[in-house]
Amino acid sequence: MNRVYCCYPGGKHKALTMSYDDGRSYDRRLVEIFNKNGIKGTFHLNSGLFDRGDRVMPEEISDLYAGHEVACHTVTHPTIARCPLPEVAQEVLEDRKFLEKYTGYPVRGLSYPNGSVTRDIENLLPSLGIRYSRVVGSSDSFGLPENPYRWQATCHHNHRLMELGEQFLGLFKKQYLYLMYVWGHSYEFNDKNNWDLMESFCEMMGGKEDIWYCTNIEFMDCMDDFARLQFAADNSFVFNPNARDCYISVNDQPAVRIPGGQGMTL
């Protein structure tokens, strides 16, 4: 029987994604650094705090974050584990509605304000159209999220960033899928006066042939697309019911592209 492995787009086995919260004005400089190096990320915004000074403006988010992902961070940034569930539901849904007026696409990502989450909140999110949500802290690892509603980053940018980046670049075992996920707030670079850290990291990580640069939701969509592939019981053929292409590796051969809406003999 064919042995089939999931690959990232282009047949890659390493992915890098970034995740920044609160939508402060320093996002503009951060996006510039990402764009210069072909790095992609997700920006989690509070739709009720745009007028609280020092934030990006709703009117600019579609241009500013073009090529990146705009995602929810709730309307007003409460510590939601302390709130009644209907309030949490509205904090998320109203955030989605507002942001979608400016993005023009369904906003399906979330990061928990103050990292606050409970089991009940996790269970609520799929019915609010949310596909993943990020917690705080650092896992120090390059594994894939087991539970997308408790998605923990590899590291905060002030935690071993360059060291972990170098480790990630050195990963070569193609039998694994790897993900490096960095999170933080852009204003922290201003507070600590360490923009050079992110500049060096992005210069070091950008433009690598074997890395897929993706937003948080692109990563989840890739995993979901793979899960929807329909394989023959003996893995001799496959049908891709998704609109997007999928990439798989068969018997350790170079990855093949399964075009969206098409089948293929393996």
Please give the residue ranges that form the binding site for Zn ion (CB under 5 A): 21-22, 113
Residue type, 54: D
What minimum distance in Å lies between the beta carbon of 216 and Zn ion? 15
Which DSSP category does 90 fall into? H
Nearer to Zn ion, 22 or 95 (CB): 22
The answer to whether the beta carbons of residues 163 and 201 sit under 8 Å apart is no
What minimum distance in Å lies between the beta carbon of 73 and Zn ion? 6
What minimum distance in Å lies between the beta carbon of 185 and Zn ion? 7
Nearer to Zn ion, 41 or 113 (CB): 113
Report phi then psi at 221, rounded to 5: -60, -35
User: CA 131, CA 109: separation in Å to the nearest integer?
Assistant: 6
User: CA 266, CA 235: separation in Å to the nearest integer?
Assistant: 7
Nearest residue (beta carbon) to Zn ion: 21
Least Cα distance to 255 among 1, 50, 3, 11 occurs for 11
CA atoms within 13 A on the CB side of 142: 22
What minimum distance in Å lies between the beta carbon of 133 and Zn ion? 12
Nearer to Zn ion, 109 or 113 (CB): 113
Least Cα distance to 33 among 76, 79, 68, 74 occurs for 68
Give the 3-state DSSP-derived string for 131-196, with helices as H, strands as E and coil as C. CEEECCCCCCCCCCCCCHHHECCCEECCCCHHHHHHHHHCCCCCCCCEEEEEEECCHHHHHHCCHH
Nearer to Zn ion, 21 or 91 (CB): 21
What minimum distance in Å lies between the beta carbon of 46 and Zn ion? 7
What minimum distance in Å lies between the beta carbon of 77 and Zn ion? 6
What minimum distance in Å lies between the beta carbon of 21 and Zn ion? 4
Nearer to Zn ion, 14 or 55 (CB): 55
The answer to whether the beta carbons of residues 189 and 174 sit under 8 Å apart is no
Token pair recorded at residue 205: 């990580």
Nearer to Zn ion, 22 or 218 (CB): 22
Strand, helix or coil for residue 95:
helix
The answer to whether the beta carbons of residues 71 and 42 sit under 8 Å apart is yes
Nearer to Zn ion, 36 or 192 (CB): 192
